[in-house]
Amino acid sequence: MDHNILRSTRELIDEVGYPALTVDRVAARAGVGKAAIYRRYASKAEMAFVATVHEQQLAPMTDTGSLPGDLLALVRAFHVRMAAPAARQLAPALIGELAVNPELKTRFQDTFLATEQAAFAEIIERAVVRGELDGPVDPAMAHLLLLGSLASALYILDLPVDDAMVTDLAAAAAAGITALAARHYGGPVKA
């Protein structure tokens, strides 16, 4: 049932666009009742977000051997998801809904953001173990530095984000994370 709901959502977004998407249309296409959808998703925006951006679990973080490399691998994976046409239609609506729907905001933070921040925590832990960082940095700050910048470029500034920009974002985030670790733990800022 979950697969049918998400597949139907993706198909309808491709056919009619996010603004014309309705839970009624998804339910009819998926062959389920609206109640089944609302038991799984708090809103149309959450359902569409899961279907277009965050349905798949994050792949295990590959250890590239360096903080910049790990961040680059992560941001490249997210760029593919976040730059998709459906995601670009949906993100502004979801951001607006998060601002007015406390239940959805909590669900979003406890699921999607927690998963993403766990990936950052893993990357940071590896960098500390390798000696690249003087100590751990708050994964939420690392998340903001990298994926917050990517989201802003794609959804607010409407910039043409290519691999060169993604590479620069990863390098800037690595430098920022390194500087934060040095600031918090008193070590020299590493290049």
Domains of the chain, CATH where assigned: 2-40 (1.10.10.60), 53-185 (1.10.357.10)
Percent of the chain with pLDDT over 90: 58
Mean pLDDT confidence for 13-30: 92
Cβ atoms of 173 and 145 within 8 Å: the answer is: yes
Cβ atoms of 50 and 157 within 8 Å: the answer is: no
Tokens of 106: 């909590």
Work out the pLDDT band at 50, boundaries 50, 70, 90: confident
Residues 6 or more apart whose CB falls under 8 angstroms from that of 44 comprise: 21, 22, 23
Tokens of 146: 């990298």
Cβ atoms of 139 and 115 within 8 Å: the answer is: no
Q: Between these two residues, 95 and 53, which has the higher pLDDT value?
A: 95
The region of weakest confidence among 6-15, 53-62, 181-190 is: 53-62
| pLDDT tens digits for range 81-138 | 888 887 888 888 888 888 988 888 888 888 888 888 999 999 999 999 999 999 999 9
Residue type (1 letter), 129:
V
> Nearest Cα to 96, choosing from 189, 177, 19?
19
